[in-house]
Amino acid sequence: MNKAVGIIPARWSSTRFPGKPLYLIFGKPLLQHVWKRCRRAKNLDSVIIATDDMRIAKVAFDWGAEVSLTARKHQSGTDRVAEVARNAKQFAFVINIQGDEPLIDSHLIDRLVEKLRSHRKIDIVTAAHPFENPAEASSPHQVKVVVDARGRALYFSRAAIPYPRNPSKIKYLRHQGIYGFRRDALLQFVRWKRGPLERAESLEQLRPLENGVSVHVLLTKQGFPGVDTPTDAEALERKLARAEGRTRPR
């Protein structure tokens, strides 16, 4: 029982960007770019797309992905991932990978798996990186985390933490939306009720902290932009075009 699975939750409905998983970037769906990056991870034994929408499922099947159809009732991607993990008993570790981060680093995925494999007392692991522009830490859309000397999360917040009594000495950490779980820890996670801190911040990563479970945070040099709106997708495509010397298909 040392196998790891990467699960990518994908839903069609989105207030700001309906149909986002199938938005084309360089002629391929956004979700396919994420999937391809995950397939490069050496420590994943399998990559599964978890969706409740047949449009997404059909396209993913066509490019060769393994797909698991899930219930429509789920309130979060973590709930959707847990439904798949509940029936995937052959995997000891589950990596919850956001379906809207097409630049996700496969090496980071490998680091998450390795941390779980090598430290038996760690049940949940995630990642964070310093803000490239510290001014962005004031945005409630950017989640911040503070950690202790052993790399464990003390708190996650939409507010800028810690309070900057001396702003020049503060290095804010941006939380990255990727999680590694021991399978049993994930199934316990979704059984817990939302606590007052989670409800106040609307951040589910506070749930284990409210229940006395540590979340280990891997620090990286930089993060990877997600896609929340069509404008984000267009900006990402331009960035990729510059990096690869490509032009957008017409």
Provide the b/e sequence for 74-93 (b: ≥16 CB within 10 Å).
beebbbbbbbbbeebeebbb
- Distance, in Å, from the CA atom of 138 to the CA atom of 160, rounded to the nearest integer, reads 6
Whether 120 shows a pLDDT value over 50: the answer reads yes
Domain residue extents for the chain: 4-223
Give me the pLDDT at residue 245, please: 59
Predicted local distance difference test score (pLDDT) of residue 237: 84
pLDDT at 155 over 90: yes
Give yes or no for residue 250 having a pLDDT over 50.
no
Distance, CA of 180 to CA of 227 (rounded, Å): 21
Least confident of 101-110, 225-234, 241-250: 241-250
Distance of CA 46 to CAs 3, 8, 10, 54, 161, Å?
Answer: 9, 11, 17, 21, 37
Query: How do residues 35-80 score in pLDDT, each as one tens digit?
Result: 999 999 999 999 999 999 999 999 999 999 999 999 989 989 999 9
Return the percentage of the chain with pLDDT > 70, whole number: 97
Give the span between the Cα atoms of 222 and 219, in whole angstroms: 9
Structure tokens at 170: 């503060």
Confidence bin at 167 (pLDDT 50/70/90): confident
* Coil vs helix vs strand at 75: coil
The CATH T-level fold of domain 4-223 is Spore Coat Polysaccharide Biosynthesis Protein SpsA; Chain A (3.90.550)
